[in-house]
Amino acid sequence: MATSLYDFSVANYLQTLTGVANVLDKGLKHLTATGRDPDEFVGVRLAEDMLPFQFQIASVVHHSLGAIEGVKSGVFRPPGALHPETYADLQAKVANTASALRALDAAEVNALAGKDVVFHIGQAQMPFVAEGFILSFSLPNFYFHATTAYDILRTHGAPLGKRDFMGPPRMKG
C-alpha cells in the first residue's frame, strides 16, 4: 500500500489534533478544579526562555492547516504575533482547524505532491518540495508544539497520559 501526501499530513494532523483537543479539555477541568484561572494559564511557559502555552497551541494550528495552506500557495512563514486570547479561544482554534482539515479533499491534497514551497524567515529562505516540507519541517514542528503544550499542562498537575496525547490511532478494519 502506497502512502499518500494526505495520509502522512492531514491524517496525522487530525489524529494529534484530536489528542490536543482532549488534552485541552482535561487541562481545563484540572485548572477549574484546582481554582486556577484558565485564561491566565495561556501565558504559562514550560521554561523561562520558551514561548507560552498560547504560542504552542497557535503553532499546532499553524503547522497543520497552515502548512497545507502554505503548500497550496507555495509560501510558508512563521506564525504572526500573538494577540490576547482566552483558553476557550485556544480550544476553538483547535476545533476549527480540525474541522477545516476534515473538509479537505484527499485528492486535492495529494495533487500537491511535488509542489515547491518556500519557508521564509526574515531574509532567509528554505526551499522545499511539498513532501519534504511536510515530513522534515511541518510534522516535527507540529509534534514539538503539541508535546510542549501537553508538557506545560502536565507539569502543572493535569492528569494526562500518553493516550490523551496520541489521539485515535488509525487501525486496520
Q: Where does 8-86 show beta strands of DSSP type E?
A: 75-76
In order along its 173 residues, the chain shows pLDDT tens digits of: 578 999 999 999 999 999 999 999 999 999 999 999 999 999 999 999 999 999 999 999 999 999 999 999 999 999 888 899 999 999 999 999 999 999 999 999 999 999 999 999 999 999 999 999 999 999 999 999 999 999 999 999 999 999 989 888 888 87
pTM of the model: 0.95
- Grid cell at residue 160: 494526562
Task: Give the span between the Cα atoms of 78 and 50, in whole angstroms.
Answer: 16
Q: For residue 116, what are the β-bridge partners?
A: 129
Task: Give the span between the Cα atoms of 74 and 126, in whole angstroms.
Answer: 12
Handedness of CA 19, 91, 47, 36 (dihedral sign): negative
When computed from its CA atoms, the radius of gyration of the chain, rounded to whole angstroms, is 16
Task: Give the span between the Cα atoms of 42 and 37, in whole angstroms.
Answer: 9
Using alpha carbons, list the distances in angstroms from residue 42 to 13, 15, 33, 89. Answer: 22, 23, 17, 10
Task: Give the span between the Cα atoms of 138 and 105, in whole angstroms.
Answer: 19
Residue 34: burial class (beta carbons within 10 Å; 0-12, 13-18, 19+)? exposed
Q: What 3-state DSSP class applies to 49? A: coil
Using alpha carbons, list the distances in angstroms from residue 150 to 1, 23, 119. Answer: 33, 7, 26
